[in-house]
Chains A and B, each alone.
Chain A
Amino acid sequence: RKEVEQDPGPFNVPEGATVAFNCTYSNSASQSFFWYRQDCRKEPKLLMSVYSSGNEDGRFTAQLNRASQYISLLIRDSKLSDSATYLCVVRGTKTSYDKVIFGPGTSLSVIP
């Protein structure tokens, strides 16, 4: 089983729709969680951190479920500019260094 798994998609949604992505992780000792966004042919950029209590940033809501070992990203009122690949990132624990693991990404296309 991969350490971090995501549904690759693509998710094709109309403008204005609400879309949700899930990401599962295998290491129950994982400490920190993030969502990065990667536009086509561009580098990844941090979208938001995911806190235990859940957090919201405008149209974006991130949730963490430690019991089931998954995190989610909800995008409301989708815009064309939301089209991108969304990478789930999990920081695990290891004796010698912080291990940061990137998921393979979920592709989103918002269509007019």
Chain B
Amino acid sequence: DVKVTQSSRYLVKRTGEKVFLECVQDMDHENMFWYRQDPGLGLRLIYFSYDVKMKEKGDIPEGYSVSREKKERFSLILESASTNQTSMYLCASSLSPRDRVAEQYFGPGTRLTVT
């Protein structure tokens, strides 16, 4: 079974803090993704990575950065947290070449509240 784990289920941070969200997958997947999920808006892609040290912006990258130093780990960084970044953050991974999409396996999510 594919397993995608995220470092925290719930996180509360103050405005202006730097926040690190960690994601680890154990199936040697090339692709990893970070989404945020908000009511009525669905999942929106923040960043994704097709390989180690490779990253590409998704639809809403502003205010976020990512790091992929090892294949199994993909980190999302909020440089200076703001209240509008309060959301559910979901990490996903998939095994696919670039020209084909395969099933995405999601982690359990991190509910981040910025006060």
Give residues in A with beta carbon < 8 Å to B: 4, 8, 32, 42-46, 87, 91, 96-98, 100, 102-105
Contact = CB atoms under 8 A, between A and B. Distances in A.
> Across chains A and B, which 3 residue pairs bring their CB atoms closest together, nearest first?
A43-B106, A102-B43, A104-B42
A44 B108 contact: no
Given A43-B106, A43-B109, A46-B103, A97 B98 contact: yes
A43 B107 contact: yes
Classify the interface of chain B: helix, strand, loop or mixed: loop
Contact of A100 (B41, B90, B99, B101): B101
A103 B37 CA distance: 11
B101 A32 contact: yes
Given A44-B106, A46-B104, 7 more contacts: A43-B90, A43-B108, A87-B42, A87-B43, A96-B56, A98-B101, A100-B101
Contacts, number: 40
B74 interface: no
Contacts of B50: 97
Interface residues of B, number: 21
Interface string B50-83: 1000001000000000000000000000000000
Nearest to A98: B101
B56 A42 contact: no
B40 A100 contact: no
A98 B42 CA distance: 18
B6 to A, nearest CB: 9
Contact of A104 (B41, B90, B100, B103): B41
A73 to B, nearest CB: 16
B114 interface: no
